[in-house]
Amino acid sequence: MLVLENHPRRRIATVLAGLASLAILAALGFGWLHSAKLESQTTANVSTSSEPATVATLIDNELANAVRIAVERIVRPKASALALFDDGTKRLACLLVENDAHYYQLDYGLKPENLAALKTGLFQTLPEPIAKATVSRYRSEAKRALGYRKTGEDRLIVLLCPKSEWASLNLTYSGFAPGPLPGNLEPQPTF
């Protein structure tokens, strides 16, 4: 047996096996350190966030159907959908309208940098003629069907994009805290 261990091929194989074991242990150790670092960064990001996140989710209920029917009278044959956040005191609604291009329109007091879907850079503000002639009608019909409260608790976002993207849109809004509207005016969209 001693003769076999001193054989050059056997020694080379033993050395290579030892090096492979060390490489595996080093990789596992690095992976553990890397995951621990990522976990601490994630925890730090979550714990230091001062603004609560509001997530509007696609809904399919009586309210969504009422909005869809009202809006699709205008957009037919294209489709529409409604995503909603409602905590009982405030509502953030997102009207999705089928469109080849990516456009958005925000209600009074909402900021584009606070909506995750807009951070992708795909969405553009609506050109003025489209906004006034078409999207204002979508908005008006959606607000009527929603029972939009003009006292300040509700806000509406309009997103125009391909229907195939609706399920994957990140409709998280940071720091949603609607307040009273200026005067008795209905919110004016932000372009």
C-alpha 82/C-alpha 156 separation (Å) is: 10
Determine the average pLDDT of the residues in 84-88.
Answer: 93
Residue 24 domain boundaries: 2-48
C-alpha 134/C-alpha 27 separation (Å) is: 58
C-alpha 92/C-alpha 154 separation (Å) is: 6
Band of the pLDDT at 190, cuts 50, 70, 90?
low
* Per-residue pLDDT at 14: 53
Number of domains composing the chain: 2
Each residue of 112-126: pLDDT tens digit? 999 999 998 999 998
Quick one: 44 and 57 in the same domain?
Answer: no
Quick one: 42 and 96 in the same domain?
Answer: no
* Per-residue pLDDT at 28: 43
What are the structure tokens assigned to 49, written together?
A: 């966030």
* Alpha-helical regions (H) of the chain: 2-5, 8-48, 62-75, 128-130, 136-146
Band of the pLDDT at 18, cuts 50, 70, 90?
low
Predicted TM-score of the model (pTM) = 0.69
- Residue predicted with more confidence, 32 or 183: 183
Q: Is it the case that residue 1 has pLDDT exceeding 50?
A: no
Q: Is it the case that residue 185 has pLDDT exceeding 80?
A: no
* Per-residue pLDDT at 44: 26
Quick one: 80 and 35 in the same domain?
Answer: no
Rounded to 5, what percent of the chain is helix, strand, coil?
Answer: 50, 20, 30
Band of the pLDDT at 51, cuts 50, 70, 90?
low
Quick one: 11 and 40 in the same domain?
Answer: yes
* Per-residue pLDDT at 101: 93
* Per-residue pLDDT at 127: 84
Each residue of 148-163: pLDDT tens digit? 988 899 999 999 999 9
Mean pLDDT score of the chain, rounded to an integer? 78
Buried b / exposed e over 2-16, threshold 16 CB at 10 Å, is eeeeeeeeeeeeeee
Residue 81 in any domain: the answer is: yes
Conformation bin of residue 163: beta by default, left when phi > 0, alpha when psi is -120 to 50: alpha
Q: Is it the case that residue 130 has pLDDT exceeding 50?
A: yes
Quick one: 105 and 152 in the same domain?
Answer: yes
Quick one: 93 and 13 in the same domain?
Answer: no
Quick one: 34 and 80 in the same domain?
Answer: no
What are the structure tokens assigned to 140, written together?
A: 């008006």
Long-range contacts from 75-79, C-beta under 8 angstroms, 24+ separation: 75/138, 79/163
